[in-house]
Chains A and B, each alone.
Chain A
Amino acid sequence: MTMVPRRVAVTGLGAISALGQDVSCFWNALIAGRPGIGRITAVDLSNIRFQNGAEVRDYDPAQHFEPSQADLLDRFAQFGLIAARQAIRDSGIVLTPELRQRTAIITGSSVGGQSTQDTQFWAVYHNNSPRVHPLTIPRIMPNAGASHISMEFGISGPAFTVSTACASSNHAIGQAFWMVRDGAAELAIAGGSETPFSFGFLKAWEAMRVVAPDTCRPFSRDRRGLILAEGAAMLVLEPLEVARARGAPVYAEIVGFGMSSDAGHITTPSIDGPARAMQAALRDGNLNAEAVGYINAHGTGTPSNDPTETRAIRQVFGAHADKLAVSSTKSMHGHALGAASALEAIATILALRHRTLPPTANFTTPDPECDLDVVPNQSRPAEVEYALSNAFAFGGLNAVLAFRRLE
């Protein structure tokens, strides 16, 4: 028996980020072009060359977790769970015992419980502490987010975590999309969470020399690098027919997913790898390149990414590249690594739904090497039916999602 692939709808959204602690704050800041970038407060910066990041402000774990539950959760898992709660509530789904067993959870995280690791390792390396906290391992493990979502909601279907650096959550959402499309799951919670602000990890980023000293200015000639961010975003995916039958809000349809690897350099992106991932997403969705009206770019704001991504987009879209709008919302929510593309999936979905393209904020001077319509600084009304969301990881692992607006 061959199964007809099902159409897959996004019916629930959840997000916590530097732009606020829910999806409406996130979207309002995006369309206002208002970045959540400021001086990092989580760590002592006196011995770090950069000062700015995109942190979740005014976060109080006690508003979300009983002390006994908070004990189990690193900040990254807390954010993942908060975003999943929002998304599930938003979808209005009723998790029956049968559905729980047929629901998948796929999360992305690049580095898991960074702050737990940093404090506990500091205790043994530096303070000569004879022991670390007994929950250090379950707090650090990058699958902690997926596990806690599963436990809290009694979701007992397939659950796992994808770690592909800055593309983690696109790989996670793409896999969930395919599982729902093919009938391997009836429902999926997918996205990512990340909290990279620990001293050791920031020192490691400093040594990479890709973090901007000021702010994130994707596609601007005077861009000076990325801005690290924390946050989480989760999506609820289900078959479109089921969603319509139960009268669920349908934000958008996921129509395609494409992956590739550069097989090139560990940190320098290629043109061909990203181009092939975009082509694969179009092919997976049976889309003509000309149907695409908007791309939420990987757009890190590093000297290397933005011209390479520009050329990759030109390679895929040819003359149509000049009719596309391309923006990088990392200019506002920052680069949340393993959570980045989940935040950007939400930005893309809401851009389609609200017929408004979020801008590339902090834009100053055009760069001839990034000569696309990057929607500088001002959001823009636009009737777009199809959009892509790009994610290209360090290590050359690329993942691209294609979305469609539904009436």
Chain B
Amino acid sequence: MSDELAEKVQSVIASSKRIPREQVSLDSTLESLGMDSLDQLNLLFALESDFNISIPDEEAKSIRTVREMVEGVRKLVAGASGQAAATA
């Protein structure tokens, strides 16, 4: 299944941490990518900017893996477009 959103999230992670895209897989943990607390803040900022979403603190705290991050972003993007459709 082609999954543009998952691909984009992984690219954002790679560019935010300044590591090669190939190092990032869905099964990677943020910790295994060498991301400390500040790197994770930078990543959340990059994702919020690139996807035009707002990631709540509590949900952000529970995320450990790239896959969880992808699913978290997917949910927020769906929520945002759902809202846009409702107001359109």
Nearest chain A CB to B40 CB, angstrom units: 9
With a cutoff of 8 Å between Cβ atoms, the chain B residues found around residue A183 in the complex are none
Point out the residue from A49, A207, A266 that lies within 8 Å of B56, measured CB to CB.
A49
Point out the residue from A49, A213, A224, A304 that lies within 8 Å of B37, measured CB to CB.
A304
With a cutoff of 8 Å between Cβ atoms, the chain A residues found around residue B36 in the complex are 265, 268
Q: Are A209 and B54 in contact (CB under 8 A)?
A: no
With a cutoff of 8 Å between Cβ atoms, the chain A residues found around residue B38 in the complex are 265-268
Nearest chain B CB to A207 CB, angstrom units: 6
What secondary structure prevails in chain B residues at the interface with A? helix
Given contacts A265-B38, A266-B38, contact A213 B45 (CB under 8 A): no
Given contacts A265-B36, A268-B36, contact A208 B41 (CB under 8 A): yes
The 8 A CB mask of A284-321 against B (1 = contact, 0 = none) is 00000000000000000001100000000000000000
Size of B's binding interface in residues, CB under 8 A? 12
Chain A contact-residue range equals 10 to 19
With a cutoff of 8 Å between Cβ atoms, the chain A residues found around residue B56 in the complex are 49
Q: Which of B30-58 contact A (CB under 8 A)?
A: 36-38, 41, 44-45, 54, 56-58
Bound Cα distance from A303 to B40, whole angstroms: 15
Bound Cα distance from A303 to B56, whole angstroms: 16
CB nearest to A211 among chain B residues = B57
Bound Cα distance from A266 to B36, whole angstroms: 11
With a cutoff of 8 Å between Cβ atoms, the chain B residues found around residue A303 in the complex are 61
Q: Is B5 located at the chain interface by the 8 A CB criterion? A: no
With a cutoff of 8 Å between Cβ atoms, the chain A residues found around residue B78 in the complex are none
**A interface residue numbers (CB < 8 A to B):** 49, 207-209, 213, 224-225, 265-268, 303-304
